[in-house]
Structure 1
């Protein structure tokens, strides 16, 4: 006996899309808009319109603007922070404090920041506009999640290498992590600017995330670490004759250009 055909689906409300997928989509859209036009300039209606939803449907997933901002920080920004700083342990006892360890840790942190900024194009602009800038809408939310203990251990690693003579005396260990952020996120956030400045230089246009990471690592390790001491002269090698030095003439004072009135 032939099987009875299954009854046709009765007309009615369409099947609800997967809630988790929709929520992720809304978070992605919100994060992109926050990065491109700023948090203050982005209303919930803008996010709903970009997603093709009504504002009421957006409120189904995020009851308020504050809840949405919390979700963007917790689910988009905080995982990046954790990934970037995970090479630094929470206790200094797990580090030997050598210059080689400092180089390895710095290189890994730089590589992770650039990788995250490349995979998430919203990250550099969002960080510079909404976290670094005074009055950034996400600053206080993000500061709560900075790994203070790991940052202290990292500063201690730099200080240990400095005391051992491997890092130049003028370096402030507690500011090195800010130098890392400046050498990585700033070039990524301003890519369109410096590419425009050197728009006719094909070498500049060819700069990619690997080149940015290599540049940051070279600047940090070349600027932080003291050059090796010169090798001593071999026995029996005559010393080079001392050269007489002339007293340098004082440089002419350079005045700022007149502003005019």
Structure 2
């Protein structure tokens, strides 16, 4: 069965990382500026700390999404920690007194290695995921805030289907149902490509597949193949709206 389809990391992937980090840094500078304006009012200190904490977590999530998009298209796993370190450094440099301190730890275990899990198997389920623990310390004039939390970014693809045969018994019409999720919530795809196994280890693109979005993260895909095999092996390769790639292989049998 087909394990994965290699993609070269291109300039667009790098631009996505730079853009996401730039947005995160902009959020950081804005949040710190707001914080500095409000530190003279003790009653607002706690709320400004909370706003900064939310901004930091949003920035970390954006950095993880950019890294996972890069990794799933052939980039090195090290880009995850590199992105997080760049972002943490940017927050600290924006305030010389180290108002904001961030420490990130990548999950190793439960299928994750260096914070990344790519599970593209033959059981109709594909998972592209990143998982990071972080400790955030915000130092204020009167109060300090410490937060221990975790962020998970996951794109999941579930694919299943069957086929019917025409009257002549030569053409099989394959019908697939695919469900896409981001962090267990229905999501949309930016691009879907379907392959089928014409002969052992020879995968070819499905010709003119009819792809329909039904809403709620669900897609139907219909295409025709000519093969004497009693089963049709398919590979659904998808890029979600966040530019994260995921792959799911499945076996389609004759509809009952």
Q: TM-score, normalised by structure 1?
A: 0.29
More helix by share: 1
More strand by share: 2
Query: Could you say which structure has the larger radius of gyration?
Result: 1
Q: TM-score, normalised by structure 2?
A: 0.29
